[in-house]
């Protein structure tokens, strides 16, 4: 047992290699990117860290994923802002890995490259009808209501139907349900994108189904979000009491997981709490368990449009280590709807020259050190290349999960520096920031530095104040770059 001062011990020995500073480029400015930057700046006192993002705006999913009615969750932006304002850190927006600058070029410009660009694609259900109009991924829908420039043209049709089906019961699924069902007067004072608020105000959706393959004990959401959706004003909640029956295997799962125990309790209470029928005109939220989608049904009247989901009843089967999976029973039923939102998981996108595990949807790595290929050979690493966040672990967890993820990746990096693993690159100076900006300038890439983001931030807040919103997001690249560029 050792006695330490309750203060940080700084690792100074290898932060300045020879006489030149450690230059690091982080690709992606969400929580993974910023926690990594913060950790590197603290641990390596001479280091210079540049964070690039393909969007003109920073913060990744904190800006484009966290729901508009969850402003406190976004407070972490203040911490990330302070990191960006550190003299040894620079943010460069509107710089895309691949089209603006290649991975190989970054590796030439920097001693270390950390990829933290998350997961911008979707797991597919992989069933017939997935291409029908009206079937959207929850990710796109969230981008749409959060004003992401790539989501503004989604134009979901909320007027052709009174029923929406959401596949999945995780927190993203609950967010989507809540945004569809909350009184729009409550949404009007959030930073929700205006085009989405307008569409929701005109929406005819009154019934939302949250469909899960397994039971209430396995639901992937967490208590805060569930409590919130169950507490929506004047909302009829329906949960089938027979779905709440638990087996010994379920009891075992709950014994080992506080989260699942509390979720089950909340769902049980909600099943019996309210009236057994909705009142006239009341909005409805239905939790559907033990159903997996078999195919999407096409409308007879409107060819090419979805009109429902063909669902198969499931049972649970134990597969060892306390886990249970859903197995089809061969019994089917239909659930009619005019819009489907698939919320079954995000997926990362590979880039050129980067090893990628297509099955897991991540960059193969060991504790954040990128492996040279998928062969599983744990001794062959890509020199100076690291990964953090969803790209490393898969698309799970909360903002804070990236805190620990960054700790691990930076520990690997620090160890590599200490052991001389990176000596072949670190004994040479690298151009870093200056080199990057020169290349981008030659290519006419309009870089958005942090000070330019601050202009965007100020303008969004100003526009928001005119409408009693914390901010009015600028949702097109053109608008963002215009404001970024103005003095």
Binding-site residues for FAD: 32, 61, 97, 390, 397-399
Nearer to another protein, 77 or 246 (CB): 77
Nearer to another protein, 9 or 466 (CB): 9
Binding residue numbers for NADP(+):
169-172, 213-214, 225, 397
Q: Which residues of 375-402 are buried (b: 16+ CB within 10 A; e: fewer)?
A: eeeeeebbebbbbbbbbbbbbeeebebb
Least distance in angstroms from the C-beta of 369 to another protein: 13
Query: How many CB atoms are closer than 10 A to CB 244?
Result: 17
Query: How many CB atoms are closer than 10 A to CB 303?
Result: 9
Least distance in angstroms from the C-beta of 400 to another protein: 5
Q: How many whole angstroms separate alpha carbon 118 and alpha carbon 60? A: 8
Nearer to another protein, 159 or 269 (CB): 269
- The C-alpha torsion from 439 through 440 and 443 to 449, rounded to 10°, is -160
Least distance in angstroms from the C-beta of 118 to another protein: 16
Least distance in angstroms from the C-beta of 310 to another protein: 35
Nearer to another protein, 254 or 340 (CB): 254
Binding residue numbers:
32, 61, 97, 169-172, 213-214, 225, 390, 397-399
Strands 346-347 and 121-122: antiparallel
Strands 346-347 and 339-342: unpaired
Least distance in angstroms from the C-beta of 178 to another protein: 15
Residues 218, 324 contacting (CB under 8 angstroms): yes
The terminus-to-terminus CA distance of the chain in angstroms comes to: 57
Nearer to another protein, 407 or 479 (CB): 407
**How distant, in Å, are the alpha carbons of 20, 336, 417 from that of 42?**
17, 55, 15
Residues 347, 123 contacting (CB under 8 angstroms): yes
Nearer to another protein, 422 or 481 (CB): 422
Distance of alpha carbon 238 from the chain centroid: 28
Per the document, the length of the chain is 487
Nearer to another protein, 86 or 299 (CB): 86
Least distance in angstroms from the C-beta of 69 to another protein: 12
Least distance in angstroms from the C-beta of 64 to another protein: 17
Q: Which of 173, 50, 68 is nearest to 109 (CA)?
A: 50
Nearer to another protein, 387 or 480 (CB): 387
Least distance in angstroms from the C-beta of 225 to another protein: 9
DSSP state string for 144-185: HHTT-TTTTT-----SS-SEEEEE--SHHHHHHHHHHHS-HH
Q: Which residues contribute to the site for another protein (CB under 8 A)?
A: 1-8, 70, 72-73, 75-76, 78-79, 222-224, 227, 258-259, 262, 392-393, 398-400, 403-405, 407-408, 411
User: What are the structure tokens assigned to 82, written together?
Assistant: 């302070």
Q: How many whole angstroms separate alpha carbon 352 and alpha carbon 140? A: 24
**How distant, in Å, are the alpha carbons of 24, 133, 155, 307 from that of 304?**
49, 6, 16, 9
Least distance in angstroms from the C-beta of 223 to another protein: 4
Bridge partners, residue 236, by sequence: 284
Bridge partners, residue 340, by sequence: 135, 165
Nearer to another protein, 327 or 398 (CB): 398
């Amino acid at each position: 047992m050792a006695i330490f001062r309750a203060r940080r011990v700084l690792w100074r020995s290898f932060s300045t290699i020879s006489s030149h500073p450690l230059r690091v480029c982080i690709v992606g400015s969400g929580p993974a990117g910023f926690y990594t930057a913060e950790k590197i700046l603290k641990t390596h006192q001479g280091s210079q860290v540049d964070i690039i993002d393909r969007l003109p705006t920073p913060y990744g999913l904190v800006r484009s994923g966290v729901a508009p009615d969850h402003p406190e969750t976004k407070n972490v932006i203040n911490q990330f802002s302070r990191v960006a304002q550190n003299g040894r850190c620079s943010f460069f927006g509107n710089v895309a890995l691949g089209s603006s600058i290649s991975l190989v070029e970054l590796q030439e410009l920097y001693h270390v490259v950390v990829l933290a660009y998350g997961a911008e694609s979707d797991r597919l259900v992989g069933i017939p009808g997935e291409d029908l109009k009206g079937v959207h991924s929850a990710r796109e829908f969230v981008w749409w209501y959060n004003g992401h420039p790539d989501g503004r043209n989604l134009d979901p049709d909320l007027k052709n139907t009174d029923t929406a089906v959401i596949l999945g019961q995780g927190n993203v699924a609950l967010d989507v349900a809540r945004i569809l069902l909350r009184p729009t007067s409550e949404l009007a004072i959030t930073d929700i994108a205006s085009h989405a608020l307008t569409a929701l105000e005109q929406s005819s959706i009154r019934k939302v189904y949250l469909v899960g393959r397994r039971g209430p004990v396995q639901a992937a959401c967490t208590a805060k979000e569930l409590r919130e959706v169950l507490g929506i004003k004047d909302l009829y909640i329906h949960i089938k009491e027979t779905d709440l029956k638990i087996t010994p295997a379920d009891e075992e799962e709950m014994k080992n997981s506080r989260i699942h125990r509390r979720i089950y309790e909340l769902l049980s209470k909600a099943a019996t709490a309210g009236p057994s029928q909705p009142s006239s005109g009341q909005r409805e939220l239905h939790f559907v368990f033990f159903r997996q989608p078999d195919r999407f049904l096409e409308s007879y009247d409107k060819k090419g449009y979805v009109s429902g989901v063909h669902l198969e009843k499931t049972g649970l089967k134990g597969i060892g280590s306390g886990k249970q999976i859903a197995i089809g029973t061969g019994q089917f039923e239909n659930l009619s709807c005019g819009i489907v939102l698939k919320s079954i998981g995000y997926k990362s996108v590979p880039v050129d020259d980067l090893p990628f595990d297509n099955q897991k949807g991540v960059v193969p790595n060991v504790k954040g050190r990128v492996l040279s290929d998928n062969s599983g050979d744990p001794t062959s690493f890509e020199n100076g290349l690291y990964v953090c966040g969803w790209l490393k672990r898969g698309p799970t967890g909360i903002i804070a999960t990236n805190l620990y993820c960054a700790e691990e990746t930076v520990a690997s990096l620090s160890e590599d520096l200490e052991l001389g693993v990176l000596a072949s690159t670190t004994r040479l100076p690298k151009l870093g920031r200056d080199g990057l900006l020169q290349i981008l300038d030659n290519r006419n890439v309009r870089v958005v530095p942090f000070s330019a983001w601050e202009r965007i931030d100020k303008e969004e807040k100003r526009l928001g104040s005119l409408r009693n919103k914390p901010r009015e997001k600028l949702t097109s690249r053109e608008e963002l770059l215009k404001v970024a560029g103005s003095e």
